[in-house]
Chain A
Amino acid sequence: MTSLVWLTVALPLVGFLVNGALALRRPGAKDLVSYVGVGVLLGAFAVALGVFVQLWLHPPHTPIIVDLWRWLPVGSLQIDFALQVDQLSAVMLLVITGVGSLIHLFSVGYMKSDPGYARYFAYLNLFVAFMLVLVLGSSFPVMFIGWEGVGLCSYLLIGFWFSDKVNADAGKKAFIVNRIGDFGFMIAMFLIWQHLGTLTFTGMVERAPAVFSPGTGVVTAITLFLFLGCTGKSAQIPLYTWLPDAMAGPTPVSALIHAATMVTAGVYLVARTNVLFSLAPLSSMVVAGIGALTALFAATIALRQYDIKKVLAYSTVSQLGYMFIAVGTGAYASGVFHLVTHAFFKALLFLGAGSVIHAMHHAYHATHSHADAQDMRNMGGLKQHLPVTFWLMLLATLAIAGVPPFSGFFSKDEILAAAFARAGDHPIYYLFYAMGVVAALLTAFYMARLITMTFLGENRTGEQERVHLHDAPLVMTGPLVVLGVLSVIGGFINLPPFFGGGAWLEHWLEPVTEPAARFFGLEMPHGQTELFLVGGAVLVGVLGLYAGYRATLRRRTPTAAEAPDDTGLARVLNRKYYVDEIYDAVLVRPLIWFSRIVLWKGVDQRVVDGAGVNGSARLSRGLGWLGSRLQTGQVGMYVVLFLVGALWILHTMVR
C-alpha cells in the first residue's frame, strides 16, 4: 500500500486537470465538477488511510522511500523525485486529505451559486496535490516544489474574486511576503548541500550529528534561515501580515489553506528537520521566542477585531505561535499534536463562520441591503436562527480555549508544560511559558467574545433580514458535525499518562523525533508540578471564557453602521498596532520610491534604454555615417582606393 502513496498526489492533480478543463470549456457543469472535485479527495483519503493502516501494522523504524523518477542529475548532485512515508508524513497525510475532504464537501454548498465554481475546485484540488508533495517529499528540493506550489494556490485562491482590487492586492501581498521567507528556505537548502553533501531528509538525519557539533555557527545559520522560511509560510512575526489579509478569499479556503494545512507547513518543516534544530539551541530559543511573541501579539489584536474572519485569522496566527513554542522547546510531538487538533477545531471555526456569513449574506441579499455580512456587530442572537452552527462552533470554542476534555486542552497544556520543563535549561523559557499562559487567557477571552457577539444577545441584523436567516443545508452542516466530533475527541490521540492515556502520538512519532531527543531531550514535569500546570491552564481557559462572555454581554453592542470609532488602546488594537502602516512607511514606500526614482528613471531609462539600447544604435549610426563619407560616387576615387589597397596587400605579401 505504501508504494501507492503517489496516488494521493496524483488523484488531486487529475482532479485539477479535469476541473481546470471544465472551467475553461464548461463552467456550468457544476454537478460533474462537484463529483470530480470531492471524489478525488475522498479517493486520496482512502489511499492515505490504507497507507496509515499499513504503517500502523508494521511500523518501520526508518522512513519508506518511494522513488518515482530521477529528477535532477547534476554532477554529484542527484535529486530523485521521491516520496517519503514515515510516521510524521502519515499523520500529515491523514489530516490534509481528511480535513481537506470535509472542506471540499462544505465548498459544494458554500460556492454553489458562484460563477467560478469549476475554477474554484480546480485550484483547491491543485492545492491539495501540492500540499501532499510538501509533506511527502523526501528531500528539500521536492518539498520546495510543494512549498512553492501551495504558495501559488494560496495566491490564486486569496485573489479568487479578483475583480475586486482589494482581493487581488491581498493575494499579491501573500505571495510577495512569502517570497521573503522562501529566500530563507533556499539559502538554508544551499548551506545544507554545501556542508552535508546531501539534500534528502534521511541523509540529513544520518550525517548532521557527525558533521555539526551542537551550537556551531553553521547549523545555527541553517536553522535560522529555515525558520525565516517558516515565518513566511506560517505567518509568524515579522512576516505574519499577509495572513489576516488572506481572509479576502472564500471562507472554505481560509479554513483549508489559511488555518488547517498550508500555514502549518512551517511547523512541519521544523519537526521534519528536528535533528538540525536540536543541534542549534540558540535557533530553538529564537523559534520558541518568536512563537511566544506571536501568540501573545496576535491574541491581543484579535481582542478588538469586528470582522468574524479577522478574529479567526489572528487566532490562527496566535495558535501557530503556540506550535512554534512547542517545536522551539524540543517538544516536536506536542507541536504536531497541536497542529492536528488545531486543524480540527480551527477548520470547524472557519467553516462555522462560513456558515454564518452564508446565512448573513443570503439575508442581506434578499433585502438588497449593503451592510457588512462579516461584521459581528451586525449579528447577535444567531443562536435561534442557526442552532446547528452555534452548538458546533461552541464546541470548537471550548476546544481552542483549552477546556477539558476537548482536544485543544490537551495539546495546549502539553505545549505550556514543555515550555515550563525547558526552563530548567534556560530561564528565558519561563518567560515564554508566561507569555503562552497570557495568550491562552486572551484566546479564551476573544473566542467567548466572538461567540457572544455572533450568537447570543439580541439580534442586530435587521427586522426584514431576520426572517431570511437559517442554517446551512446538509452538505455544509455534515462536514461541520464531523469536525465537531473530531474537535471533541481529537485530544485523545495523545492523552498524557497524567489522565490515564498512553501518549499515543508521541510514541508514534518517536522514530522521527528520536535523533533530536539525543541532543535536546526534554524531561516533562510530573506529579504535583504537572497538576499545578494543568490546573493553571484550565483555570486560565475558563476564566478567559467567562470574562469574555460577561464583558461582551454586559453592554449593548451597536451595529456596524451606528458604532462610534474606537478610542485609545482599543483603537490601536483594532488597527492591529498599525503594523501594516509601519511596514508601508518603512519598507514598502521606500522600496517603491527606490524602484521608481533609481531603478526605473535611473537605471532603466538612463542606463539600459539611454546608454544601452539607444546608445548602441547611435554608435552604429555614427560609424555608418563615417563609412558613407567614403562613398563619393566618383569612380576615380574608388580606383585610387582600390589601387592603394591592392598595393598594400602586395606589399604585405611580398615582404
Chain B
Amino acid sequence: MLLGPSLALSAILFSLGVAGVLLRRNAIVLFMCIELMLNAVNLTFVALAQLHGASGYVMVFFVMTVAAAEAAVGLAIIIGIFRHKQSVDLGNINLLRG
C-alpha cells in the first residue's frame, strides 16, 4: 500500500542523487549520492514487490550486496587518490584525458 507516495519519494530521492552527482565536486559526497540513488531504486523495488511478488525483495538484497562491494572498492580508490593528491576534489582528477 502507499504505492503512489512510495514511488514519489523514490523518484525524489533518485533525482536528488543525480543532482548531487552532477553538481558536487567532492568525491565522498558524490559517492554518497550514488548510494542515495541505489537506495531510491531499492525503495522502488520494495514498493512494487507488493504488486508483483517476492522477486522485488530478492532484488533489493542483490543491490545491497553490490552496493557494499562497490562501497569497499570505491572508498579504497578514493583513499588511494587522497594519499596521492592530498585532495578528493574531482576537478583535480583528470589524468585520464585523451
**Residue positions of A touching B, CB distance < 8 A:** 627-636, 639-640, 643
By the criterion CB–CB under 8 Å, are B22 and A631 in contact? no
By the criterion CB–CB under 8 Å, are B98 and A639 in contact? no
Bound: A633/B91 CA distance, A = 9
5 A-B pairs whose Cβ atoms sit less than 8 Å apart in the complex: A631-B98, A633-B93, A633-B98, A634-B91, A636-B22
By the criterion CB–CB under 8 Å, are A633 and B96 in contact? yes
Which residue on chain A has the smallest CB distance to residue B94? A633
Bound: A636/B30 CA distance, A = 10
Complex interface residues of chain B between 51 and 98 (CB less than 8 A to chain A): 90-91, 93-98
Bound: A239/B41 CA distance, A = 87
Bound: A542/B96 CA distance, A = 100
Which residue on chain B has the smallest CB distance to residue A642? B21
Contacts of B90 in A (CB 8 A): 634-636
By the criterion CB–CB under 8 Å, are A633 and B97 in contact? yes
By the criterion CB–CB under 8 Å, are A640 and B22 in contact? yes
Contacts of A633 in B (CB 8 A): 93-98
Bound: A627/B90 CA distance, A = 22
| 7 closest Cβ pairs, A-B complex | A633-B97, A628-B98, A631-B98, A633-B94, A633-B96, A635-B90, A632-B97
Bound: A630/B98 CA distance, A = 7
**The residue from B18, B93, B97 contacting A631, defined by CB atoms under 8 A apart:** B97
Q: Give chain A nearest CB distance to B41 CB in angstroms.
A: 13
Bound: A481/B18 CA distance, A = 108
Contacts of B30 in A (CB 8 A): 635
Contacts of B98 in A (CB 8 A): 627-633
Q: Give chain A nearest CB distance to B20 CB in angstroms.
A: 10
By the criterion CB–CB under 8 Å, are A635 and B18 in contact? no
Bound: A66/B71 CA distance, A = 83
Contacts of B22 in A (CB 8 A): 636, 639-640, 643
Which residue on chain B has the smallest CB distance to residue A631? B98
**The residue from B18, B21, B94 contacting A634, defined by CB atoms under 8 A apart:** B94
Contacts of A634 in B (CB 8 A): 90-91, 94, 97
By the criterion CB–CB under 8 Å, are A632 and B21 in contact? no
Q: Give chain B nearest CB distance to A49 CB in angstroms.
A: 83
Contacts of B96 in A (CB 8 A): 631, 633
Bound: A122/B22 CA distance, A = 82
Q: Give chain A nearest CB distance to B82 CB in angstroms.
A: 15
Interface centre among A627, A631, A632, A636 (most CB of B within 10 A): A636
Contacts of B21 in A (CB 8 A): 639
Q: Give chain B nearest CB distance to A522 CB in angstroms.
A: 87
Contacts of B95 in A (CB 8 A): 633
Q: Give chain B nearest CB distance to A641 CB in angstroms.
A: 11
Q: A640-B22, A643-B18, A643-B22 are in contact. Are A635 and B97 (CB under 8 A)?
A: no
Complex interface residues of chain B between 1 and 47 (CB less than 8 A to chain A): 18, 21-22, 25, 30
Contacts of A640 in B (CB 8 A): 22
Bound: A627/B98 CA distance, A = 8
Contacts of A630 in B (CB 8 A): 98
